[in-house]
Structure 1
Amino acid sequence: MLPGIRGVGKTTLLYQAYYYLLNEKHILPNQIIYLSCDDLNNIVDCNIREIVDIYLNNQFNTQLRLLDKEIFLLIDESQYDKNWSMSGKIIYDRSEKIFMVFTGSSALNLEYNADAARRRFKRVVTPLNYNEHLKLKYDYSNINLGNSLVSLILNGEEQNAIKYENEMNRDLINNIKYNFNDWDEYLKYGGFPILARKINFRRLSTNIVDMIEKVVNTDMVAIKNFTFENQTNSNRILRYLALQNAGDLSQNNLAKYLKTSQANVKNILDILEKTHLIFSIEAYGTSSKQYEKNQKILFCNK
């Protein structure tokens, strides 16, 4: 399962997997299925299980239990089939010959589904960190700098961090393709792969806002017992976070600001984190210290 917010490259990953299997592993084309539930849903109600049954019958004149060939099933935007998880469960239980990858822009749908819990291996697709951004945009990578920063933070080792920072600065200065506003643009718009291309930043801003609205107004509303009041509270929380300096967030103060209970705030933050719009960082130390101190709440692209 590859949950993640829109625009982080899940569809591209599936295409890359398709061509990898086809060209490098020499899997026959009829043993690889790429399926976009979004596109299919525009024609007819998407039903993954039914599609797989039809495919196996047409291509191999067989059914799930009798399948003797290895099949790769790459399913994009799986949330458009409301029963995607049950379909995956049935396919998984009836045949060991089918390898399945599910992606979902409605990450919440993939996070909350109980049918997939025991059988799944989940890898969240996150926005790019700056090193990944440089690799994609300029074909430049300095893995040593990232490792040295971790050592600096955890162990206080300064020399390697200074060495690799100077090395990176020198390399980027000498890279004629490097845009010296690149760091500012990355901070403003986050680690979306589209930043690797020349784009209209006004349009990108609009797309990001539209994506957030779709998550709050569509994905979160689909959750049982999620009220219109909490939909409004979710939008207010996101605006509140956007206007604050990054740091500790007092759920008690936020509850007073929203005029709701602290338990309700905790519930909304938990759901927002499952959509991958935000993430939380616990205080470093013992469990008692983590309980006493407020969490840090950050947006997904920071």
Structure 2
Amino acid sequence: MEIETQSYITNLLKTNPKIVENNLNYNDKKFNKKKEYYQLKEHIDTFLEKESDDRFFIMPGLRGVGKTTIIYQLFSYLLNEKQIPKNRILYLNLENLKDVPNFNIKEYIDVFLKDVNEAYPTVKNQVFIFVDESQYSKNWASLGKIIFDEDKNVFMIFTGSDALNLEYNNDSARRSLKKEIYPLNFAEYLYLKYDINYPDMLSETFRDMIFTGKVKESQKIENRMYNQNLINLNQNYLKEWEYYIQYGCFPFTLNRTEESIVQLTLDMKDRIIEKDLDIITSFTTPIRLATYKLINIIAMSKPSELSSNKLSNILNISKTSIQSIFQALEKTHLLFHVEPYGSCVKRQRKSWEYYFLTSQIKASIYIKNGLATQNPKEYIANLSENLVAASLFKLQQNRDFGIFYDPEKGGVDFLLNTIMGDIIPIEVGIGAKNTKQVKKAISRYNSDYGIIVSNRSSRIQKEDNIISIPISTFSFM
């Protein structure tokens, strides 16, 4: 077994540079880089200068969000720009090894460190270990902790599905830094596809507007952004946005046809059910089959229309099984939930509402079932509500606030509860711009202002205590 492992690692070190370069361009044009690449590159540079001890990173995220491409780009940077010899850079994809009998990641890393790089007792030169699909190893976190503690010349990145979070124990958490990778927002999509670059402060300024109610700076940036879009985009800007929410939320879609995007998105969704759920829990065949159906039902229904009782009756499985499926799907980050606003009793009594982490998955299921063209306005409205929910969920990972839905009859779509206890009502509307619901929510929750996100405003506006934000602008957050 040891000889086979040595042979495998030796072959990887020879072939990885070519594989990496072949996957970093399309039609001889290099792929643009996501912001996470530059963040990790900065950490690599300080590591090479021996100015930082940040050398153990965890990079979880949904399948298809571009984690492997980021790793390839860092590999290429080290090899071609920093002139690091290829025997000091290991890229190991565990999906290729998961079926090896008695597979143990430690054996492969040991060969790289101790045999290839002659570590005794520690590595002499700085080396880099990039492990992809790490969720297929049960002991990746403990191994990373051991290497971190024993050798200061090793820089590590472990990537994989959100099932990685299950292995993110206290010991590894104290030593590592986590960078969750999310689907593309509209700004990232336009940059990766059309090379349209936006200032770093753009998203942050829009986010500050949500929590402060101040619109002046956001209006200035939006005007510059809008003019830049008109100059750089050959086609209608809003048509491009409609394409984005259906087909452009994952980097793998940028050079593909709409038909292939839908199929690849559905394949990715199925792989999450078939592979990632196995790491999280053990479902019986009937429960696994019900999981496919449940996801379809959620995609083609309004979040407010579903309850555990209703789903239990439709799928003919227990409420307990429904809740177990939801818990598992949330751990993969395919879905997330929004609870009703109110007391703990009300939050337990009322059903939770579920959204996809990206509107593209919802759109692909709609399209596959032939429902996207039946009522186009309702279709785009449902995708827009999911987009706003997902944007708020991602924003919540870096800011302290709560996201709830309004349980009152005729209530707004979302209520943000800030760390100071303020409530910000948000309504998502496609079509007629109605302020009635937001005004009621402002009065009910004693809010300073409310927000309408819609396609009826072409620019950010504030009238009295109501802020109107175009849905395309909101998509930059």
User: Do both proteins adopt the same fold according to a TM-score greater than 0.5, normalized to the shorter chain?
Assistant: yes
1:206, distance to aligned residue in structure 2 (A): 0.8
Counterpart position of 1:111: 165
Equivalent runs, 1:83-122 vs 2, <5 Å: 83-104=139-160, 106-108=161-163, 110-113=164-167, 116-120=169-173, 121-122=177-178
Counterpart position of 1:244: 301
Contact map agreement 2:248 2:254 (CA 8 A) in 1? no
1:191 and 2:245 are equivalent in the alignment: no
Counterpart position of 1:3: 60
- How many percent identity over aligned positions? 34
**Alpha-carbon RMSD:** 3.2
Counterpart position of 1:273: 330
User: What is the TM-score normalised by the length of structure 1?
Assistant: 0.82
Task: Provide the rounded CA distance (Å) in 1 between the counterparts of 2:248 and 2:335.
Answer: 13
Contact map agreement 1:131 1:143 (CA 8 A) in 2? no
Counterpart position of 2:405: none
Amino acid in the other structure paired with 1:91: I
Equivalent runs, 1:14-93 vs 2, <5 Å: 14-23=71-80, 25-39=82-96, 47-63=104-120, 65-93=121-149
User: What is the TM-score normalised by the length of structure 2?
Assistant: 0.54
Contact map agreement 2:90 2:112 (CA 8 A) in 1? no
1:101, distance to aligned residue in structure 2 (A): 0.9
Task: Provide the rounded CA distance (Å) in 1 between the counterparts of 2:236 and 2:251.
Answer: 16
More relative contact order in 1 or in 2 (CA 8 Å, sep 6+)? 1
Task: Provide the rounded CA distance (Å) in 2 between the counterparts of 1:12 and 1:276.
Answer: 20
Amino acid in the other structure paired with 2:258: F
C-alpha spacing 1:122/1:288, structure 2 compared with 1 (3 Å) = farther
Contact map agreement 1:91 1:98 (CA 8 A) in 2? yes
Contact map agreement 1:8 1:193 (CA 8 A) in 2? yes
Amino acid in the other structure paired with 1:112: L
Equivalent runs, 1:174-185 vs 2, <5 Å: 174-177=231-234, 180=237, 181-185=239-243
C-alpha spacing 1:254/1:118, structure 2 compared with 1 (3 Å) = farther
For residues 79-127 of structure 1, give each alpha carbon's deviation from its aligned partner in whole angstroms, at most 9, with x where no partner exists: 34454345434434543432221112x432x13226x443043322111
**SS of equivalent residue, structure 2 residue 179:** coil
Counterpart position of 2:206: 149
Contact map agreement 2:312 2:318 (CA 8 A) in 1? yes
**SS of equivalent residue, structure 1 residue 221:** helix
For residues 135-165 of structure 1, give each alpha carbon's deviation from its aligned partner in whole angstroms, at most 9, with x where no partner exists: 2122222555533433443333344444433
C-alpha spacing 1:96/1:285, structure 2 compared with 1 (3 Å) = farther
C-alpha spacing 1:248/1:161, structure 2 compared with 1 (3 Å) = farther
Task: Provide the rounded CA distance (Å) in 2 between the counterparts of 1:284 and 1:207.
Answer: 37
Equivalent runs, 1:125-140 vs 2, <5 Å: 125-140=181-196
Contact map agreement 2:141 2:172 (CA 8 A) in 1? no
Unaligned runs of 5+ in 1: none
1:12, distance to aligned residue in structure 2 (A): 0.8
Unaligned runs of 5+ in 2: 1-57, 359-386, 388-477
Equivalent runs, 1:155-234 vs 2, <5 Å: 155-177=212-234, 180=237, 181-197=239-255, 199-234=256-291
